Homo-oligomer: A and B are copies of this chain.
């Protein structure tokens, strides 16, 4: 039973054709804004469409797909579409390096949102043509659509990492072949996805341009995190925007089947353990972060942020984030620090509250930020930043309204824990998924009880149904794979010379499709300075994380291809 390459080629043809259609949109955006780069999207669209159509006509599969080909297509789809989707970036010279372009597009399709823009060798986000900014957001949005159909309708059939649990819940296929009912399920859920995106666009319109609203809405629903601004969502400095995005990140991190059922007034859908735990994590983290960040008098908690003896508020820090980035990039190039300070001061300019150029540059320097701790003197500000960042991390969207690396240590630890959890299964969020964390916790308690009652049979239940032991082992194995993959990635990034904390947190972030990390890839940094080989490795890690690991690892096992 050799793998059926023709069937794979046929389906890849469909996907390339779809990519061709998608690429027309950024071409139109470019035309609309009078950007000369629009041709690159048009040319790639035409090429992708023609090749895809040809493959489809030549290799159109006559029978239903088998499981083995299903696996190959899933992984190949993300890889090949990213290879093609990267072309416009380098064709136009907006990016010089194809590795950069591939990283950016894979980061888009996997809804990771890690960016190489804004670095020393890449353009600042504000200098990138709108067609490209839109293409980044569109890769997120399409990636999110792909993930919804994948996790709800495809992966359960393939038996990946406990995803079988969701088979029964979905108004979809029940056979072990990929049937036409998959597309029926997908369409229903996509309709919700599109509707939620549209509603968010409308809600964002009062506070930003139509272009920005569309881009941010697409990035939100996909839990992607690319922004059209260097300062991410924080750039708007609007509590209204922050709260709208927070709410829609939370919605995007929910199982879309739940949205479907709630829309059809099936209120029993809320009687769902994973949902309750998701909100418990969100609420708990928000509460904890709020309390940690809030310091009414500025000196109640230990080590409040001070600069030249004055307590520094978030506003000051917000405005030095850009300066910090420029400085870090310049430092990476070995530029003279004196020069950078002047430059960053110029960029921050007159907006800088309560400080001169040197003060801003001082706070901005990475060493300084490493020692600085920021808190807020208003409860509502604390809540706003806490809720936003908790939602941004647990849903793995990765948007930023604050440089969390200057938050108190406890806040960092809470955020880091959320890196692991991720969204609900069946959402567009990454991470290990709330349901797996829940099952692990249940299994842990069971193991302890088992020690006291060695003879007892203690089944694990989820939503009142017994979870088969095989699925439980799947879930435990998934966690081991997940942790192992992070270990391997850290090792590889270490080989490439990254410091261990940056290597570890960046790998963690990419496998979990979060985006920002800590250290050299912190929330105000980017991935530009990662060596080329590291960009390819992180790209594959993003893909592996996004496709529930098994799907990608399987392709690297010889047995998969042989028999």
Interface residues of A (CB under 8 A from B): 67-68, 71, 158-160, 302-303, 408-410, 412-414, 416-417, 420, 440, 443-445, 447-452, 454, 469, 472-474, 476-477, 479-481, 483-484, 487, 490-491, 493-495, 497-501, 503, 518, 550, 553-554, 557, 559-560
* Closest chain B residue to A446, Cβ basis: B477
* A557 and B449 contact, Cβ closer than 8 Å, known pairs A409-B503, A413-B495: yes
Q: Please tell me how many copies of the chain the complex holds.
A: 2
- Give the complex CA separation of A477 and B475 in angstroms: 11
Contact of A452 among B480, B487, B498, B559 (CB under 8 A): B559
In the complex the two chains form, is B451's CB within 8 Å of A494's CB? no
Asked if A503 contacts B302 (CB within 8 A), the reply is no
Question: Closest Cβ of chain B: how far from A482's Cβ, in Å?
Answer: 10
* A501 and B501 contact, Cβ closer than 8 Å, known pairs A474-B447, A553-B448: yes
B159/A454 in contact, CB under 8 A: yes
Q: B410 near A494 (CB under 8 angstroms)? A: yes
**Chain B residues with CB under 8 A of A497:** 302-303, 408-410
Query: Using Cβ atoms and an 8 Å threshold, which residues of chain B touch A484?
Result: 440, 444
The minimal Cβ–Cβ distance linking A361 to chain B, given in whole angstroms, is 19
Please indicate the chain B residues that have their CB under 8 angstroms from the CB of A559 in the complex. Answer: 448-449, 452
The reply to whether A494 and B413 contact each other, CB–CB distance below 8 Å, is yes
Contact in complex: B487, A160 (CB < 8 Å): no
Beyond A480-B440, A480-B476, is A412–B447 a contact (Cβ under 8 Å)?
no
For A410, A472, A497, the residue with the greatest tally of chain B CB atoms inside 10 Å of its CB is A410
Q: Contact: B413 with A481, CB < 8 Å?
A: no
Q: List 29 A-B contacts (CB under 8 A).
A: A158-B451, A159-B450, A160-B451, A409-B495, A409-B497, A409-B503, A410-B491, A412-B494, A413-B491, A416-B500, A420-B487, A440-B480, A443-B473, A444-B480, A447-B474, A447-B481, A448-B550, A448-B554, A448-B560, A449-B559, A451-B550, A452-B557, A452-B559, A452-B560, A469-B469, A469-B473, A472-B473, A476-B479, A479-B480
Q: Return chain B residues, CB-CB under 8 Å to A472.
A: 473
Q: Do residues A500 and B409 form an inter-chain contact, with CB atoms below 8 A?
A: yes
- Write the chain B residue with the least CB distance to A370: B499
How far, in whole Å, are A192 and B490 apart by their CA atoms in the complex? 39
How distant is the Cα of A416 from the Cα of B71 in the complex, in angstroms? 33
- Determine how close the nearest CB of chain B comes to the CB of A379; give it in whole angstroms: 20
Give Cα A71 to B483, complex, Å.
30
Establish whether residues A447 and B550, one from each chain, have CB atoms under 8 Å apart when the complex forms: yes
- CB-contact partner of A413 in B473, B503, B553, under 8 A: B503
User: Which residues of B have CB within 8 Å of A500?
Assistant: 409, 412-413, 416, 518
- Nearest chain-B residue to A416 (Cβ)? B500
Most B Cβ at <10 Å: residue of A473, A481, A490: A473
**Cβ contacts under 8 Å, A494 to chain B:** 409-410, 412-414
> How far does the Cβ of A367 sit from chain B's closest Cβ, in whole Å?
8
Chain B residues positioned under 8 Å from A550 (CB to CB): 447-448, 451
Q: A409-B498, A444-B477, A452-B560 are in contact. List 20 more A-B contacts (CB 8 A).
A: A158-B451, A303-B497, A409-B499, A410-B495, A410-B497, A412-B494, A413-B490, A413-B494, A414-B491, A416-B500, A443-B473, A444-B480, A447-B474, A447-B481, A448-B550, A448-B553, A448-B559, A451-B554, A473-B476, A479-B483
Do the beta carbons of A447 and B491 come within 8 Å of each other?
A: no
Contacts of A412 in B (CB 8 A): 494, 500
Q: Which residue of B lies closest to A556 (CB)?
A: B448
Output the nearest chain B residue to A450 by Cβ-Cβ distance: B159
Interfacial chain B residues near A440, Cβ < 8 Å: 480, 484
In the assembled complex, which residues on chain B have CB atoms less than 8 Å from the CB atom of A158? 451
A438–B560 Cα gap in the complex (Å)? Answer: 22
Point out the residues of chain B lying under 8 angstroms from A450, CB to CB.
Answer: 159
| Distance in angstroms between the alpha carbons of A361 and B329 in the assembled complex | 30
Which of B413, B452, B491, B560 touches A554 (beta carbons < 8 Å)?
B452
Among B71, B452, B469, B491, point to the contact of A68 (Cβ < 8 A).
Answer: B452
Which 9 A/B pairs are nearest by Cβ-Cβ distance?
A413-B494, A476-B476, A447-B477, A501-B501, A409-B494, A412-B500, A410-B494, A410-B495, A413-B491
Q: Which one of A412, A494, A495 has the greatest number of beta carbons of chain B within 10 Å?
A: A494
> In the bound complex, how far is the Cα of B448 from the Cα of A71, in angstroms?
12
> Closest CB-CB distance, A374 to chain B, in whole Å?
15
Closest-CB distance, A315 to chain B (whole angstroms): 25
Bound-state Cα–Cα, A474 to B500, Å? 31
Contacts of A476 in B (CB 8 A): 473, 476-477, 479-480
Give the distance in Å from the alpha carbon of A553 to the alpha carbon of B449 in the complex. 11
Quick one: closest B residue to A301, CB to CB? Answer: B497
